[in-house]
Amino acid sequence: MPFAIAGQILHVDLTNRKTWAEPVPEESIRRFIGSRGVNAKILWHAVRPGIDPLGLENPLIFGTGTLSGTFAPTSGRTTVTCKSPTTGLYLKTNVGGHWGAELKFAGFDYLVVHGAAVEPVYLWIEDGKVEIRDARHLWGKDVRETTRLLHEETGDRSVQVAAIGQGGENLVYFAAVMVSVYNAAARGGAGAVMGSKKLKAVAVRGHGSIRVADKQEFYRSCHVAIKNSYEDATAKFAHLYGTAGSVPMVNEARAFPSYNFRRGHIEGAEKIGGPYLAESKYLKRRLGCNACIFCCHRYCEINDGPWAGCYTGGPEYETISALGTGCGNIDLEVVLKANELCNIYGLDTISTGNLIQWAMEGYEKKIFTEEELGGLTLEWGNGKAIVEMVRMIAYRQGLGNILAEGVKRAAARIGRGSEKWAIQAKGLEQSRVETRAAFGYALAFAVNPRGPDHLHTETIAEFGVRPGGRRLIKKITGDEKYANPRLIEKRAEIVRWHEDCFAATDSLGLCAFIDTSRFGVDPEQMADMLSAAIGTRVSEEELMKAGRRILTLEKCFNVREGTTRADDVLPWRLMNEPLESLARGADVQRALEAKGSENDFVPINSPAMLNRMLDEYYALHDWDRETSWPYRETLERLGLQEVIPELEQKGKIPRRRQIPE
């Protein structure tokens, strides 16, 4: 058995009810590290362009990190990959919990599910064996009940379950795969792909362990990572308040998406933030993913009032904005209840909230017919309506059926101008970052292969509010002054560095909380942990280059599907309307002409500003500026020769128009 990995890819063909295993190719780990990287490679080779994401040809790939199942801090992450029903493009979605480590203990690093079953099934994987089992009795049940029944059926509460709820069964385009009930592989509709396969759950139990090559050096490098992580003052903050901790701060900064991204501030937001929750009667305990040193998850209950009996993980920062302030709602109990329903029905809270906001704005603007509304009153902040809409989306009832296919399709169907307040790009609902206030984020969101979202490349460092962030910006750009989110300069460099680092982090199975979010660990330390684990020296440069190789392969998947530069955009509102709190009269032209630190106030990221950042970003990657497609030499330099013949045959290898910089 190789070091650090279990060494096997498990394939399950649900159409023909066949299972088989193959060794993980050594070169896959060398070139793509693991998890997200290896998943991307499997997907590239398994899929023809143009296939239906909900059809038989779309595989659903689960990939564990190369450090998952070891002592490495925060190594509990797993990546789920497929073609997205939401965007029709590449999808990777990352999830915590304990499922990934358990899969490795059971003898497999990857699970690739092909085809579809006729009747509902679940997979039972235990110590190197797999069974396709009848799941008709589980179909129609929510994620929590499914997990409980599988624990009962297997007689083992330590069994780790990845499952879909009613959202996935009903092919809601933003359905999530839920792990251990409250961890979501949420974005982009992997749950709908699982539902299209009639695969209700994957239950896993393993009694094995993972060996590392150099135990002493591995533990030494892990301890350095842990020590450095605890030195950042925000480690404790993350544990106490989770991602929700920053709610009051971001609201005060006038950058907390509210009222469907029309405002960046809402009175009373502190009453739904992490610090308030931590002192409230709702918080019952804190939890963490496998091998986590932060344990940022929280678990809450409501014991009285209209939502008594509600119990749920979270809520996260994103959920609070999506189901709370974005809908004009500052009632924490409503957020908890709507979050609980999203978790047990298996829905992405970000997309769900985004859809409800879109409908609320439409209601305010009186665009819906009475028949479309079906008696709903969707005023801003109507808690009962928010909770009811979650249920209607999961079951595809009434207006919920229109919303269930995502905001781009809903706006296209309803029309009446609603495309302008559909907060999406590439078909994905934007996550809860005010990209008009942070230009690194704006660029990262525009070029993200899965759509405008923070979990591909999160450039928190550009805010420069913590010493670790300022140090990182200096390392990337050469000067701390670029730690300023209102600058355009150096955003391309900052984004590209984070892309490389994020891809490496995901592929190792680590959490962004350890590096780009909390700055405790840098790529050199990640390379040290990996080297000691696998027994082959991997340098920081090689690790980061592998990250870029992964990102570029993901880009190539989309190029093969037909994307061009025109797809690298942000939602219309975020490109064209000023955020109330930032629209203080500074003009965009002045910002474009300004240089360095003089350019310290920019009210809005207009198409012109984004175009300038895109030019710099493509040049830095050595991609063609006109099409955004990678050049042949770029692919060769990254060792991605395998994609060239197909792209060339489709005419998608651009001819060089400019000298590389």
Residues engaged in binding ligand SF4 (CB under 6 A): 74, 76, 96, 288-289, 292, 294-297, 511, 513
Q: Tokens at residue 485, please?
A: 């989110």
- How far apart, in whole angstroms, are the C-alpha atoms of residue 434 and residue 585? 18
- Smallest separation (angstroms) from ligand SF4 to the CB of 39: 19
- Smallest separation (angstroms) from ligand SF4 to the CB of 298: 10
Helix (H, G, I), strand (E, B) or coil at 512: helix
- How far apart, in whole angstroms, are the C-alpha atoms of residue 228 and residue 242? 19
Say if residues 356 and 323 touch (Cβ distance below 8 Å).
yes
- Which C-beta is closer to ligand SF4: that of 291 or that of 602? 291
**R_g over Cα of the chain:** 23
- Which C-beta is closer to ligand SF4: that of 251 or that of 517? 517
- Smallest separation (angstroms) from ligand SF4 to the CB of 224: 18
Give the contacts of 606 (CB within 8 A, at least 6 positions apart): 575, 576, 588
- Smallest separation (angstroms) from ligand SF4 to the CB of 293: 7
- Residues linked to residue 8 through DSSP beta bridges, in sequence order: 23
- How far apart, in whole angstroms, are the C-alpha atoms of residue 112 and residue 9? 7
CA dihedral 600, 604, 607, 608 (to 10 degrees): -30
**Closest C-alpha among 295, 286, 287, 292 to residue 225:** 292
Residue 73 phi/psi, 5-degree rounding, is -65, 135
- Which C-beta is closer to ligand SF4: that of 368 or that of 513? 513
- Smallest separation (angstroms) from ligand SF4 to the CB of 491: 26
Q: Tokens at residue 388, please?
A: 């009811």
- Which C-beta is closer to ligand SF4: that of 242 or that of 257? 242
Angle at 334 between CA 332 and CA 340, to 5 degrees: 105
- How far apart, in whole angstroms, are the C-alpha atoms of residue 291 and residue 68? 9
- Smallest separation (angstroms) from ligand SF4 to the CB of 184: 11
- Smallest separation (angstroms) from ligand SF4 to the CB of 518: 8
> What one-character DSSP code corresponds to residue 452?
S
- Which C-beta is closer to ligand SF4: that of 58 or that of 243? 243
- Which C-beta is closer to ligand SF4: that of 299 or that of 601? 299
Say if residues 460 and 581 touch (Cβ distance below 8 Å).
no
Which residue type sits at 546? A
Helix (H, G, I), strand (E, B) or coil at 185: strand
- Smallest separation (angstroms) from ligand SF4 to the CB of 514: 7
Longest CA–CA separation in the chain, Å: 69
- Smallest separation (angstroms) from ligand SF4 to the CB of 517: 8
Q: Tokens at residue 13, please?
A: 């063909």
- How far apart, in whole angstroms, are the C-alpha atoms of residue 256 and residue 242? 17
- Which C-beta is closer to ligand SF4: that of 244 or that of 250? 244
- Which C-beta is closer to ligand SF4: that of 287 or that of 644? 287
- Smallest separation (angstroms) from ligand SF4 to the CB of 73: 9
- Which C-beta is closer to ligand SF4: that of 166 or that of 228? 228
Which residue type sits at 654? P
- Which C-beta is closer to ligand SF4: that of 100 or that of 189? 100
